[in-house]
Amino acid sequence: MEKKDLRIVYMGTPDFAVESLKCLVEGGYNVVGVITMPDKPAGRGHKLQFSPVKQYALEQNLPLLQPERLKDEEFVEALRAWKADLQIVVAFRMLPEVVWAMPRFGTFNLHASLLPQYRGAAPINWAVINGDTETGITTFFLQHEIDTGNVIQQVHIPIADTDNVEVVHDKLMVLGGKLVIETVDAILENRVKPIPQEEMAQPEELRPAPKIFKETCRINWSGNVKQIYDFIRGLSPYPAAWTELHNGQESPITLKVFETEKVEKAHSDVPGTIKTDGKTYLHVAAGNGYLSIKSLQLAGKKRLGIDEFLRGFKVLDGMKLL
């Protein structure tokens, strides 16, 4: 079968999913339809906002469905009418069997981790938060349990100690587009030999990648320097790690922290205690040293470098971050 004859339905929502769809379209593959999340209200005016995948699909005049519920008979019938030979899922939702089992070549997912590690909604964040030095992407066929299907292909990449989640995300996004094309070609040429995840060598315990909520992002200054440093870069720039500044008088002030440097130095300060000259540096005591904050943001304000922040906001030696 030629690629122009293979009928593909693509499912995805965020920016991460646009790259793979773009590679398919620009590569001349036959994308017969796109499925993405319903429009969501956003901003102060609560205007309905298109997903990045919807925006791209509209620009390319691709048929589009935005079901509220994936088991609705009306949606299932509309999907069936596209007569897909293959479905591809990138950063979408858990699919019911009636959907993923529909095409004759099945449905494969692109997941931003080296499965079986980091099954779940936030694999890139958790790999950085946990201080991993390597991650990657995986294509696998869908089955009943989420992120457990037989692996088709994987690509490994290093994580540098200075990489934040945005850097890793963007690298995996580009590699993901290439891997989706390679996987489609392998399926077309009947070269796929899927490997059950339980047969893949795993020298360490499996780590999950659960969805991240606001409270997940609160910094615990009693951890060691490396743990806190990895935690902050694993959430930077979005959704961002946060903490509260306590000056002993006013209500606590919420700060988002985007970038730090490690200062591994013995001290007797209580974790969260600030050391600063009020002008050029702001160090925060941790379990075995300090974190030197390089950029941060007050609620409702723009992100600032530490020099600019200290010029406009008074922080004194001995104040606490909790």
Q: Give 103-130 pLDDT, tens digit per residue.
A: 999 999 999 999 999 999 999 999 999 9
Burial class (CB in 10 A: 0-12, 13-18, 19+), 149: buried
| pLDDT for res 203 | 61
Stated pTM of the model = 0.95
Give pLDDT, residue 71.
96
SS3 content of the chain, % helix, strand, coil (to 5): 25, 30, 45
Could you tell me if 79 and 99 are in contact, meaning their C-beta atoms sit under 8 angstroms apart?
Answer: yes
Which one, of 100, 36, 96, lies nearest residue 68 by Cα? 36
The strand ranges marked E within the chain are 7-12, 30-35, 40-42, 47-49, 64-65, 86-90, 107-111, 134-141, 151-158, 241-246, 253-263, 274-276, 282-286, 289-298, 304-305, 320-321
Q: Which two tokens stand for residue 313?
A: 């906001």
Q: Which portions of the chain are predicted below pLDDT 70?
A: 201, 203, 249
The b-or-e profile of 177-206 (16+ CB within 10 A means b, else e) is: bebbbebbeebbeeebeeeebeeeeeeeee
Pair 20, 26: CB distance under 8 Å:
no
Residues tagged in the binding site annotation for (6S)-5,6,7,8-tetrahydrofolate: 113-116
- The pLDDT, as a whole number, for residue 304 is 97
User: Dihedral of CA 114/118/122/127: which sign?
Assistant: negative
Q: Which residues are annotated as a binding site?
A: 113-116
1-27 burial, b if ≥16 CB within 10 A, otherwise e?
eeeeebbbbbbbbbbbbbbbbebbbee
> Torsion angle, CA of 33/39/42/46, rounded to 10 degrees?
150
**Both structure tokens of 206:** 């499996």
Amino acid at 287: G
Rounded CA gap, 298 and 254, in Å?
Answer: 6
Instruction: Give the per-residue pLDDT at 41.
Output: 84
Tell me, what's the pLDDT at 264? 87
Angle among Cα 271, 319, 308 to the nearest 5 degrees reads 110
Q: How far apart are CA 145 and CA 52, in angstroms?
A: 27
C-beta atoms surrounding 73 within 10 Å: 9
pLDDT of residue 82: 98
- Which domains does the chain carry? 7-199 (3.40.50.170), 215-321 (3.10.25.10)
Q: Which residue has the tokens 């959907």?
A: 99
